[in-house]
Structures are given as C-alpha cells and as structure tokens.
Chain A
Amino acid sequence: MLFFLLLALFGPALAPYTENNQSSPPREAPSTAYPFGTDYLGRDVFSRVILGARSIFLTAGVGTLIAVVIGTFVGLFIGYQGGLLDEVVGRFIDAFLALPALLVALVILGIIKNVDFAPGSWQAAVADQSVLIVIALVYVPIVARVVRSSTLDIKTREFVQAAQIRGEARLYIIFREIFPSVVPALVVEASLRFSYAIFLVASLGFLGVGASPPTPDWGLMVSENRGGLYQLAPWALNFPALAIAVLVIGVNLMSDGVKRVFQKSG
C-alpha cells in the first residue's frame, strides 16, 4: 500500500522514460534497460506502470473523498431530520442502490465520451474529469445510506436528547453530538469504497470508457495489449495487470484491517 502511495507521489522522478516516449524498439523483452519490456509502440512499460499509479490513486482517491464528504452530509441530515424528507430521499437512495455501480458508470461514461463539447468550455472540463465525478456520483448514495443508518441509531441515544433539551441548534447537534460517533463506521466505509473505486477505475479503463489513450492508465494498458498482441509481448499486459492485482489486494487487506480495528474498539 504504502509502496504504491510513494510510487504515486514520486513516480515521475523514478520513471526512466516519459510516458509516451516511443524512442525505444517496440516489443522488447524485459531487460535491465527496460525492466518490464516495451510495448507495441516502443514505450517503456516500467515507466508507464509507475506513472499510472498516480492517475489511479488520484481518480479513485479524490472520487471517494468527494463521495464521502457529500454522502456524509446527506446521510447526517436526512438521518437526523427523519420524517418525510428521509422517506423520500431514502427511497431514491434505495432505488439507486439497486443498480450496479459499474453498469451505471459505464453507461454514463460511454455516453459522455461520445458527446463533443466545445474545447475549453466548462462541459469539456467536466468531461475531462468524468471518471472521477462518476465515481463520486455512484458512491454518494452508498455512503449516505451507511451514515444515515448510524445516525438513526445515535439519534436515539440519550446524550442527543440531553442536547435537545438544552435547546441546541440542529447544526450543533448534528456535528458536535452525532458526527463523532458516526466516524468509526464512516472510516470503515470509506476504506471499503476506496478499494472498490480502484477496482472500478481499472475496469472502466479496461473497457475503454475511462482514460483515453495514450494516458498510462493500467486498465487501458491491459486492454491495449490484449488479443493478438499478447503472444508477441506478454509483458506489456502482464505487468500492468500484476500492478492492478497487487494494488487491489493491498487496498483490500488494508480496508479489512481498518474494519477489524474499528470493530474491536466499537
């Protein structure tokens, strides 16, 4: 985990070549000069894998973060408010949750991809970050539901009633009295979301609706080097796939660890 984080941070300094440097001979087997070999365009796989770490971290991480922040707000408010608002928003969340995240993301991205926005317009800027935004979008309801259910639980605690009896403002009660007790569940959920987000980013890249070539996106790299090309240069596919595998396993184990820690203390 930490290793990948460092890679993401210092990747550019470590990579021996720039991402799209095509100066090398194509389809070179791994050697000391090209530790992971080169791909069909003669790009250094090692460099591209290293540089790809940053984009996957950034997209999955920031996407998750946005979802967590918005989801927390939504969950806290509807959970505390209850009543009709909760009923209505809750139904929407439930309905949304019935749809698989990957499918939703795939369709949205697939369509956005085919729309031509005027370069430089805000729509184009949004479309540029579409993967990140879509991840945030599909995870908001999930986070909101988790936060909502733990808010509902904590709301009935007597210390919250004690605050109500003092005539505390709604915002004070939500953030000062309830929020701290939601944090453990939230951290567990966030780490889980992060691991799924990485899964999602990689899959979307692979399906060709994530980053567009020639970005060094791991999923995209796997996809580019599939098929007939594979037999000629298996390394160009295997190394990014391996990178994804190691990262996903790492994040998974981490989020499982986070869960254990918080369940014990909770």
Chain B
Amino acid sequence: MWRFILRRLGFFVFTLLLTSVLIFALTRVLPGDVARVLLGREAGEAEVAALREELGLNQPLHVQYVEWVRDFVTGNWGLTFSRPAQDILQLVGQRALNSARLAAITMLIAVPLSLLLGVIAGLTENRLPDNTISVLTLSVVSLPEFVTGIFLINILALELRLFPASSAVSPSATFEEALPSLWLPALTATLVLLAYITRLTRAGVIEELKRDYVRTATLKGLPYRVVIVKHVLRNALIPTITVIATSTGWLMSGLVVIEFVFSYPGLGRLLTFAIDKRDLPLIQAIVMVTVMVILVANFVADLLYAILNPRISFD
C-alpha cells in the first residue's frame, strides 16, 4: 500500500515539476524579452531595462527558475502586472473559490445523472434506451461548451427568462448571492461532463456484462436485480471513479470557456483575462493552481480505486 502511494506521489511531483518547467519556459523563454512583452511596444528602452533588473531577468535562466519555484512554494506569488496591481495569491484564491462553487454544483448534478444514464444505456445495449442515450451523448452534448452555452442562453435566459443571461456577479459574492446565476453555467458544464462519463460508464457496464461471472451469478438462480446490482455494477462502477477524476481535467478546461461565455468571475475567466492583458505572472500562478487541482483529483482517484478494488494487491 505504502509503495503504491509513494509511486503515485512520485508521479504527482514529477508531473508538477514538468508543468512548472513548461510554464516557465513558455512565459520566460518563448517570448524572448519578457520585459518588452509586459510593457508593450511603446515603452522606452530605459523603462524596459529597469523592469528587467527588477524582475531579475538578467540572471541565468536556471537561477531564475529556482527562484521562481521557491517563491511559488513559499506563497510569495507577487503582484499582478496589469493595473491596478493586486496580490496574486489573494486574487487567485478568491477566483478559485468561485470556480469551485461552480464545479461542485456541476459535479453534483452531472455525476449521478451520467452514471444513471450510462448504466441504463449499458444494460439495454443496442436497444431503444441505449440508442436514444447514445445519440444524445454523441451529438447535442458533445458540442463545444460555448455553442451549448450560447444556445442555452438564447433559449432558457433570453426566450424563457428562467435564468439571468449573464453570471457576472461580484467576484466576492457569497454563495447565496451567486447561486441564481450559477445554474446556467453549471447546466452547460453538466452537459459536457455528461457525455464523457455516460459513454465510459456504458462501455464499462457492457464489458462487465460479457464476463463469465455474470453467467455464474445468473445460474445461481439469483434475481436479475441482484445479478446486476451486486455483481455487475460493483465491477463496472469501480473504474468510473477514475473516469470522474479524469473528468476534472475536462471540467477545468470547460470552465475556462464557460466562465468566458457567462462572464462568471472564476479562475477560468481570470485566465482568459490574464492572457488578454499579457499578465505573465498571473498566468503562471493560474496554470500551476489548475494543474495542481487536476493532479490532486487524479491522485485521490487512484487511491480510492486501489482501496475499492480488491484485485490490486499492495505488496
């Protein structure tokens, strides 16, 4: 068990380091002169040189990298570049909270619903319910988030006026304040996850149904319900834990688009904003936080999977 955890933890750190190198390369090396990028074309030479000095850009790259990592780890994330300058740690924290709310609601709706749909589709393979669900997940719900988002705005907000069309709440709004404007983006995100989890659950159920132990269980004279619930679902649903975890990656990138569509002040909106404003330090921080969330989700899922699945032995 410990060996397993250690291995997963090693992978976690490795991926994080790799990401940090990548993002560092992207933001420090690729643009060439970072100070110039930050200040824009019109800035004077002296100004650029001063900034370069201030940012420590004249030091060798690996020194810069180590410093950057150290600052990040110690929570010394600095200020945003775009004016008014804000404390990045605080800003990111606040927006991350907003995104977490949205993500939580989405997961709460999407996970049970898609598991249900996936199981139904799997049990009725190639019959009407399955075909209906499959066509739906293949088509309507696998559209890019901004397309579904916009259609939902058109129909539910503008035509039916059920929800507000924009979710541009104050970034510091409390949960109760934000809730009404959360439904529509959550619904959009749900549709995206729905397709993904449903299809994988369906595949899992179909695969398990073909196994010999299903025949054994049936030939014991157990009622169909018991065969399915006790024998099949137990095996079919364990892997979906991993699926749900990997879907956090989807959700994260989905949120970037969705928050953009709905102008919801979450982490994703902050990222598009930072990119727009060429705010390199802010981009770095957001990417690192996002990747960390994804990796933690994966790590937890691996652990859960290992605990729930007796086939994995820990020695």
**Chain A residues at the B interface, C-beta cutoff of 8 Å:** 91-92, 94-96, 98-103, 106-108, 110-116, 199, 202-203, 206-209, 219, 222-223, 226, 231, 234, 237-238, 241, 244-245, 248-249, 252-253, 256
Contact = CB atoms under 8 A, between A and B. Distances in A.
A29 to B, nearest CB: 16
A238 B159 CA distance: 14
A94 B290 contact: no
Given A98-B298, A115-B31, A244 B147 contact: yes
Contact of A241 (B18, B151, B252, B275): B151
10 contacts: A91-B14, A98-B295, A99-B19, A102-B257, A106-B271, A107-B271, A111-B30, A234-B154, A253-B139, A256-B138
B139 A114 contact: no
Interface in B142-162: 142-147, 150-151, 154, 158
A248 B252 CA distance: 21
A95 B14 contact: yes
The list of the 6 closest CB pairs from A to B, nearest first, reads A110-B275, A102-B253, A95-B15, A100-B253, A249-B139, A100-B249
A249 B272 CA distance: 27
B256 A207 contact: yes
A183 B105 CA distance: 42
Contact of B31 (A111, A206, A241): A111
Contacts, number: 125
Given A207-B272, A249-B138, A252-B138, A115 B144 contact: no
Contacts of B15: 94-95, 98
Contacts of A99: 19, 249, 291, 294
The majority secondary structure among interface residues of chain B is helix
A146 B33 CA distance: 38
Contacts of A219: 144, 146
A241 B150 contact: yes
A111 B34 CA distance: 11
A120 B67 CA distance: 36
B51 interface: no
Contacts of B287: 103, 107
B64 interface: no
Between A95, A116, A199, A223, the greatest number of chain B beta carbons within 10 A of the residue's beta carbon is seen for A95
Given A102-B256, A112-B30, A226-B150, A107 B275 contact: yes
Contact of B143 (A96, A98, A112, A245): A245
Contacts of A252: 138-139, 142
Nearest to A110: B275
Contacts of A108: 26
Contact of A100 (B37, B144, B275, B294): B294
B213 interface: no
Interface of B: 11, 14-15, 18-19, 23, 26-27, 30-32, 37, 41, 138-140, 142-147, 150-151, 154, 158, 249-250, 252-254, 256-257, 260-261, 271-272, 275-276, 278, 280, 283, 287, 290-291, 294-295, 298
B30 A208 contact: no
A106 B256 contact: yes
Nearest to A107: B287
Contact of A107 (B23, B138, B249): B23
Contacts of B146: 202-203, 206, 219, 222-223
A209 B291 CA distance: 20
Contact of A207 (B11, B257, B290): B257
A110 B154 contact: no
A7 to B, nearest CB: 18
A115 B257 CA distance: 23
Contacts of B144: 199, 202-203, 206, 219, 244, 248
Nearest to A117: B32
Nearest to B248: A100
Nearest to B274: A110
Contacts of A248: 142-144, 147
Contacts of B271: 106-107
A231 B154 CA distance: 10
A95 B18 contact: yes
A92 B272 CA distance: 27
A222 B18 contact: no
A116 B41 CA distance: 9
B145 A203 contact: yes
A106 B151 contact: no
Looking at A98, A234, A249, which has the most chain B CB atoms within 10 Å of its CB?
A98
A253 B147 contact: no
B150 A203 contact: no
A112, A199, A203: which has the most chain B beta carbons within 10 Å? A203
Contacts of B250: 100
A115 B139 contact: no
Nearest to B41: A116
